[in-house]
Amino acid sequence: MCGRGACTLSKENLSCACAYKNSSGEYHKVPWMDNSELVYVQSCNIGPRDIVPCVVAGTHLKNEEERLLCPMLWGMIPPWHKGDYKKHTASTHNSRLERILESKLYATPLRKGFKCIVLFDGFYEWKAGENKSPKQPYYIYAKQESGIKADDPKTWSNEWSLESGWKGYKPLKMAGIFNTFETVEGKIVYSCSVLTKDANQALSWLHDRTPIFLNEEQCQLWLDLEVSPYKAVEILKEQKLIEKFLSWHTVSTLVNNVSHKDVKCREQIEVKEKQKNSSAVFMASWLKRESGKSSKKNDTMSSDSMEEKINEDEIPAKITKKS
């Protein structure tokens, strides 16, 4: 699953990083289209109902460009929601690919061709600890060119050319689906969900679900309005995640709190030292407990770890399949 991420690339750099080859064989930047209702803010800790950058077919925004970048609310607003869209509490930041064609919430926008690509520098996932120990957060990101460190923007280059395209930091491109919501003032708000599927061996050690990552060829197919929704879904189901295309490292539990937005959230930390300290605490606790038994005292030691719960929520309902 994907419930927390980072996106710190500027709009201009995102336009370059999402460039694709046109019919002339030259790289073409993806223009950014602002939305007066939603403002993209660069952050190292983005959570549900924050604003994320997305790529869509230009047709959806009544534009002649083949592709456009625009800000969207992360977490699809249910069409039956009433009142302020910012207060919707449905857990819709993820959508299970396996049930999307039967979903009351997602099937309709999918059939309308409302497909998007959600962009992140990387995303966070928590690995369950042993013996009820606190979960360890990891930062997962695309494999970068030599010398580029995911947690150090000073190592990122911002090179761009028509011939070679983007030579800077490579963001993750995740398959997504979006919908529109009209406010009481008549403004249109775009909101999206990241598609997930069962994780294979590349990430199953970390979590049983994974976002669906796209390369350029897959981006083209996913955004193509001529490809039927059913075929598009089948293509994603057959896609296999290859481990060599991803990198990851452990990060501080500072990221557990979505209000923490600074760069320390994605900085790499050494887990060995943490494990060593945990062992020392355990031993001290055991010795204290044994000492207490001998003196007929019952001293106990416990620690609780507060961590925001990140859930997926589908609202499945059978609907008639159309070709």
155-165 pLDDT tens trace:
998 899 999 99
User: Which of the pair, 257 or 287, is modelled with greater confidence?
Assistant: 257
Where are the domains positioned within the chain? 4-122+157-198+211-238
Residue 147 backbone class (left: φ over 0; alpha: ψ -120 to 50; beta: rest): left
- For the cut 50, the answer to whether the pLDDT of residue 14 exceeds it is yes
Q: What pLDDT was estimated at residue 242?
A: 81
Q: What pLDDT was estimated at residue 244?
A: 86
Separation between Cα atoms, residue 102 and residue 93, nearest integer Å: 17
256-280 average pLDDT score:
78
Percent of the chain with pLDDT over 70: 84
Say what the pTM is: 0.83
Q: What pLDDT was estimated at residue 302?
A: 35
Positive or negative, the CA dihedral 48, 49, 55, 58 is positive
Task: Spell out the CATH class of 4-122+157-198+211-238.
Answer: alpha beta
Contact 291, 283 (CB under 8 A): no
Q: Does residue 285 sit in helix, strand or coil?
A: helix
Q: Which residue has the tokens 């449905």?
A: 90
Q: What pLDDT was estimated at residue 287?
A: 55
Q: What pLDDT was estimated at residue 131?
A: 77
Instruction: Flag the least confident range among 3-12, 13-22, 166-175, 286-295.
Output: 286-295
Which of 21-35, 51-65, 270-284 is modeled with the greatest confidence? 51-65
Query: Sorting pLDDT into bands at 50, 70 and 90, what band is 297?
Result: very low
- For the cut 90, the answer to whether the pLDDT of residue 171 exceeds it is yes
Long-range contacts for 214-223 (Cβ within 8 Å, ≥24 apart)? 214/117, 214/173, 214/174, 214/175, 215/173, 216/20, 218/175, 219/20, 219/55, 219/117, 219/173, 220/20, 222/115, 222/117, 222/175, 223/55, 223/56, 223/57, 223/67, 223/115, 223/116, 223/117
**pLDDT tens track for 225-239:** 999 999 999 999 998
Q: What pLDDT was estimated at residue 130?
A: 80
Query: Sorting pLDDT into bands at 50, 70 and 90, what band is 24?
Result: confident
For the chain, how long is the longest CA-to-CA vector?
Answer: 84
Q: What pLDDT was estimated at residue 318?
A: 39
Percent of the chain with pLDDT over 90: 71
Arithmetic mean of pLDDT over the chain: 86
Q: What pLDDT was estimated at residue 198?
A: 94
Q: What pLDDT was estimated at residue 285?
A: 54
User: Which of the pair, 167 or 285, is modelled with greater confidence?
Assistant: 167
Q: What pLDDT was estimated at residue 129?
A: 81
* Residue 37 amino acid letter: E
Question: Which residues have a Cβ under 8 Å from the Cβ of 214 and sit 6 or more positions away?
Answer: 117, 173, 174, 175, 222
User: Which of the pair, 309 or 159, is modelled with greater confidence?
Assistant: 159
Q: What pLDDT was estimated at residue 25?
A: 84
Query: Sorting pLDDT into bands at 50, 70 and 90, what band is 303?
Result: very low
Q: Which residue has the tokens 């230009």?
A: 58
Separation between Cα atoms, residue 265 and residue 256, nearest integer Å: 9
